[in-house]
Amino acid sequence: MLLKRLTEASGVSGNEKEVRDIIIEEIKEYVDNIQVDKIGNVIAYKRGKKDSPRLMITAHMDEVGFIITDINDSGLLKFTTVGGIDHRILVSKSVKVGKKQIPGVIGAKPIHLQKKGERLKTLSLDQLYIDIGVNSKEEAEDLVSIGDYITFYSEYVGFGNDLIKAKALDNRVGCNLLIDLLKSNTDLSFYAVFTVMEEIGLVGAGPAAYTVEPDISIILEGTLCSDGPDTEEHLIPTKLKQGPAISLLDRTTLFNIDFRKYIVNIAEKNGIPYQFRKTSFGGNDSGKIHQAKSGSTTATISVPCRYIHSPISVMAKEDYKNTCKLLKSILSEIEKGDF
Amino acid sequence: MNSKEFLEILSNSSGVSGYEYRIKDKIISEFNKYSDEIKTDNLGNVIAVKKGNLNKNKDRIKIMLAAHMDEIGLVITAIEEDGFLRFATIGGIDPRTLLGQEVLVHGKKDLFGIIGAKPPHLQEESERNNPVKLEDMYIDLGLKKEDILDLIKIGDSITIKRNLIKLQGNRVAGKALDDRAGIVTLYECIKKLHKLNHYSDIYFVSTVQEEVGCRGATTSAYSINPDIGIAIDVGFASTPELPKEDTLNMGKGPGITLGGNIHPGLRKKLVEIGKEYNIPFQLEVEPGPTGTDARAIQITRQGIPTLCISIPLRYMHTSVEVIDLKDIENTAKLLAFFVTSISNENLEGLLCY
């Protein structure tokens, strides 16, 4: 299954190769042109019957993770985070290190030996390290090096009522949507762009938009969903199983109102459930894309994911299906020429 | 079955204190192959006996070897309207190790779930700078309450879902290695005794409820009434945040405990055996009562001479405890040679103060 392969692949920001290779392999037969640009973005073009407006659909390939900063004398690995990770999620987890995917664990001081009050404090990065089971720096250096990237170790699991648990659903779910779209029959030509390094500051999107020069862009994402207990209704950004989330605004973009209404109309006309992403928190590649060159229209459509930026993000299969349906409907509407 | 295979089965299985019935059959079926008798007592302790073959009389010495089969875990305390579960801890759990874990909820069947909490961006800054409190966490099963009610109930146990991870060399990481590594040590020991002769009857006891106060050792030691009791548990292995003097080294053999909980004569013998058979060992000092089954055994009936042997383990009471399989092997060897060295002739001398 493609989403399993995509989420289990390692693709920390700046080290997207494994994910990029899977994507290229998947899409090459379905596109007319494909290039990897100078910073690692995949820019593919799929020709349809109609070329305008110039449409770009993007999804970022990278995920949050870690990088080795030092190896100590006893062979334990010091690390720092790449992208936004709540440090409180790290303790008592397993990870995979470097190209060889060496298994490691992030342990913690035994509760028995903690001083009074220690448990009330958050463990900081400088207290944490990764144990791969070696005795010395030399043994460790045979296997890993400073600068090696590290991902959470988390398998793709189906559970509950048609839910999926995996790491990196943000944003392999967007990659998967875009791949599915390329594989489907669409009459409108479009650029499919898989960007690098979104999680460390929207790095790839600007240069990609500069190259493609889109009139309209749609950014596909896996986004914040917190609909657990104790959350007041007005604070819930998105809910699971309520359909694709259409962004209103975030810290990087005030999304084009006409284009958003246009998308909402399409969803309603086709009976596709949708919701708004009701928080200004966070940002995505749109921030760079809508400001590239002389500027352009953008929208973000996301699959809601609980617990993003952790090893155990969760999404609903039905939200994926409805997002896919909405995207296809948008493409056929734009092709009819009414936007 | 080799020690790694057995450890993998035991570590991946669930048996929270008080819920050991979930794991005991896996222990019984393996020990059954090597013991003369096996039984489960009222509290659930599994007692396997290997009788002495050098002494045909009835007055055989009884040596009790105890390792606990229970593990720390969670228990359901409430099922919320939206299907999320609330829980409490059983045994010493640092709540900081729970956030973002995958769990198995052991109801009519095992249900997969995730421990979640309010996401960071919805937390106040003061909340973000502090660990998430246990009462603010919940378990997400991805199911509605009405779908859940037939499958699980308040009081069902929960364990972290973790399959044993193979690290470099002989090291493995997983949950509940405290003290399933001890059970595997007993298993390796009973296998070795099949190739050795011994005077004493050896009682291999997989105890219950150690994590909540050594309760299984209390009752099993009473009923067995051994001449010698030995607890096989795990000891703190060295990591950067722990003082060197409080820890054991990984891969350097079992820790032999010294202190008030330990009979000095027996301990001296144990050290001699280690030296005689060239088995690496380390010393571990605990002046007061150890927090292990050795404590419960020592004060059973009129008092029992007791030893405590520790397998070095890192990150105790997390779901990524690390041990070195070599240490299990050396602990089993030390135990086997020790128990075979005890006879009706030398015991009195060893116990003499």
Domain boundaries, chain B: 3-71+175-351, 73-159
Find out whether the peptide bond into A171 is cis, omega within 30 degrees of 0.
Answer: yes
- At which residue do the structure tokens 């009976």 appear? A271
Please give the structure tokens belonging to residue A252: 């990087």
Torsion angle in degrees (nearest 10) through CA of B307, B311, B316, B322: -170
Residues whose CB is less than 8 angstroms from the CB of residue B19 and which lie 6 or more positions away in sequence, other chains included:
B70, B73, B106, B157
Residues whose CB is less than 8 angstroms from the CB of residue A98 and which lie 6 or more positions away in sequence, other chains included:
A68, A143, A144, A145, A148, A149, A150
Contact A226 B122 (CB under 8 A): yes
Å from B174 to nearest chain A CA?
9
* Nearest alpha carbon to residue B143 among A273, A143, A302, A160: A160
Residues whose CB is less than 8 angstroms from the CB of residue A120 and which lie 6 or more positions away in sequence, other chains included:
B130, B131
Among the partner-chain residues A86, A132, A281, the one whose CB lies closest to the CB of B167 is: A132
DSSP helix/strand/coil, A313: strand
Q: Measured in whole angstroms, how far is the alpha carbon of residue A255 from the centre of its chain?
A: 19
Q: Measuring CA to CA, how many Å separate B30 from each of A220, B140, B184?
A: 53, 35, 10
Q: Could you tell me which CATH number the domain at A65-152 has?
A: 2.40.30.40
Q: Which of A8, A18, A26, A198 is catalytic?
A: A198
CA A41-A45-A51 angle, to 5 degrees, is 135
Contact B240 A72 (CB under 8 A): yes
Looking at residue B89, its amino acid is T
Selected residue of A88, A162, A280 to mutate for chain B interface (largest B Cβ count, 10 A): A88
Å from A326 to nearest chain B CA?
24
Q: What is the pLDDT of residue B121?
A: 80
Q: What's the topology of domain B3-71+175-351?
A: Aminopeptidase (3.40.630)
pLDDT per residue as tens, chain A (339 positions):
999 999 999 999 999 999 999 999 999 999 999 999 999 999 999 999 998 899 999 999 999 999 999 999 999 999 999 999 999 999 999 999 999 999 999 999 999 999 988 999 999 999 999 999 999 999 999 999 999 999 999 999 999 999 999 999 999 999 999 999 999 998 999 999 999 999 999 999 999 999 999 999 999 999 999 888 878 888 899 999 999 999 999 999 999 999 999 999 999 999 999 999 998 889 999 999 999 999 999 999 999 999 999 999 999 999 999 999 999 999 999 999 878
Class of domain B73-159: mainly beta
Å from B54 to nearest chain A CA?
42
Which tens digits make up the pLDDT trace of B20-65? 999 999 999 999 999 999 999 999 999 999 999 998 877 899 999 9
Q: Which residues of A touch B94 (CB under 8 A)?
A: 108, 111, 114, 119
Question: Are the C-beta atoms of residues B113 and B103 closer than 8 Å to each other?
Answer: yes
Q: What is the distance in angstroms between the CA of the first residue and the CA of the last residue of chain B? A: 42
Question: Are the C-beta atoms of residues A239 and A325 closer than 8 Å to each other?
Answer: no
Residues whose CB is less than 8 angstroms from the CB of residue B88 and which lie 6 or more positions away in sequence, other chains included:
B74, B75, B77, B134
Which tens digits make up the pLDDT trace of B297-345? 999 999 999 999 999 999 999 999 999 999 999 999 999 999 999 999 9
Report the range of poorest mean pLDDT among A221-235, B2-16, B167-181, B207-221: A221-235
Q: What is the pLDDT of residue B327?
A: 98
Rg (CA), chain A: 21
Phi-psi region of A153 (alpha: psi -120 to 50; beta: other; left: phi over 0): beta
If one counts every other C-beta atom within 10 angstroms of the C-beta of residue A117, the result is 7
Selected residue of B77, B121, B170 to mutate for chain A interface (largest A Cβ count, 10 A): B121
Q: What is the pLDDT of residue B258?
A: 96
Please give the structure tokens belonging to residue B174: 């997983």
Q: Measured in whole angstroms, how far is the alpha carbon of residue B234 from the centre of its chain?
A: 7
Q: What is the DSSP string of B116-135?
A: E-S-GGGS-HHHHTSPPPGG
Contact A107 B82 (CB under 8 A): no
Find out whether the peptide bond into B179 is cis, omega within 30 degrees of 0.
Answer: yes
| Nearest residue of B to residue A77, measured between CA atoms | B240
Among the partner-chain residues B80, B166, B236, the one whose CB lies closest to the CB of A113 is: B236
User: How far is residue A175's CA from residue A60's CA, in Å, rounded to a whole number?
Assistant: 7
* Nearest alpha carbon to residue B26 among B53, B43, B46: B46
Query: Is beta strand A33-36 parallel, antiparallel or unpaired with respect to A42-46?
Result: antiparallel
Burial A17-43 (b: 16+ CB within 10 A, else e): bbbbebbeebbeeebeebeebeebbbb
Contact A121 B114 (CB under 8 A): no
Indicate whether B122 pLDDT > 90. Answer: no
Among the partner-chain residues B96, B320, B321, the one whose CB lies closest to the CB of A88 is: B96
- Complex ipTM > 0.90: yes
Residue B154 has phi, psi (to 5 degrees) of -60, 135
User: How far is residue B108's CA from residue B106's CA, in Å, rounded to a whole number?
Assistant: 7
Å from A258 to nearest chain B CA?
29
DSSP assigned state of B149:
T
Residues whose CB is less than 8 angstroms from the CB of residue B347 and which lie 6 or more positions away in sequence, other chains included:
B61, B227, B228
Q: Which residues of A touch B122 (CB under 8 A)?
A: 226, 231, 235
Burial B215-231 (b: 16+ CB within 10 A, else e): bbbbbbbebbebbbbbb
Burial class (CB in 10 A: 0-12, 13-18, 19+), B41: middle
Q: Which of B30, B71, B210, B211 is catalytic?
A: B210
Among the partner-chain residues A92, A120, A139, the one whose CB lies closest to the CB of B130 is: A120
Q: Which residues of A touch B165 (CB under 8 A)?
A: 94, 103, 105, 153
Q: What is the pLDDT of residue A161?
A: 96
Of residues A95 and B122, the one with the higher pLDDT is A95
DSSP helix/strand/coil, B323: strand
User: How far is residue A19's CA from residue A11's CA, in Å, rounded to a whole number?
Assistant: 6
Å from A162 to nearest chain B CA?
8
Contact A229 B167 (CB under 8 A): no
User: How far is residue B270's CA from residue A170's CA, in Å, rounded to a whole number?
Assistant: 56
- What average pLDDT does chain B have? 96
What is the total residue count of chain B? 353
Class of domain A2-63+167-336: alpha beta
Q: Which residues of A touch B95 (CB under 8 A)?
A: 119
DSSP helix/strand/coil, A14: coil
Average pLDDT in the B235-263 region?
96
Helix or strand run (H / E) with residue B77? strand B73-79
Looking at residue A7, its amino acid is T
Please count the residue pairs, one from chain A and one from chain B, whose beta carbons lie less than 8 angstroms apart: 177
In sequence order, what E strands does chain A have?
A: 33-36, 42-46, 55-60, 65-71, 77-82, 93-97, 102-106, 130-131, 149-152, 157-159, 163-166, 190-195, 216-225, 245-247, 275-277, 297-306, 313-316
- At which residue do the structure tokens 């010698």 appear? B228
Å from A288 to nearest chain B CA?
22
Question: Are the C-beta atoms of residues A41 and A193 closer than 8 Å to each other?
Answer: yes
Q: What is the pLDDT of residue B220?
A: 98
Query: Is beta strand B46-50 parallel, antiparallel or unpaired with respect to B62-68?
Result: unpaired
Active site residue B127: no
Query: Domain segments of chain A: what residues?
Result: 2-63+167-336, 65-152
* Nearest alpha carbon to residue A207 among A28, A27, A23, A40: A40
Q: Which residues of A touch B120 (CB under 8 A)?
A: 86
User: How far is residue A151's CA from residue B98's CA, in Å, rounded to a whole number?
Assistant: 19
DSSP assigned state of A89:
G
| Nearest residue of A to residue B94, measured between CA atoms | A111
Residue A192 has phi, psi (to 5 degrees) of -110, 120
Instruction: Give the bridge partners for B262, in sequence order.
Output: none
Torsion angle in degrees (nearest 10) through CA of A147, A91, B152, B45: 120
Which tens digits make up the pLDDT trace of B76-118? 999 999 999 999 999 999 999 999 999 999 999 999 999 999 8
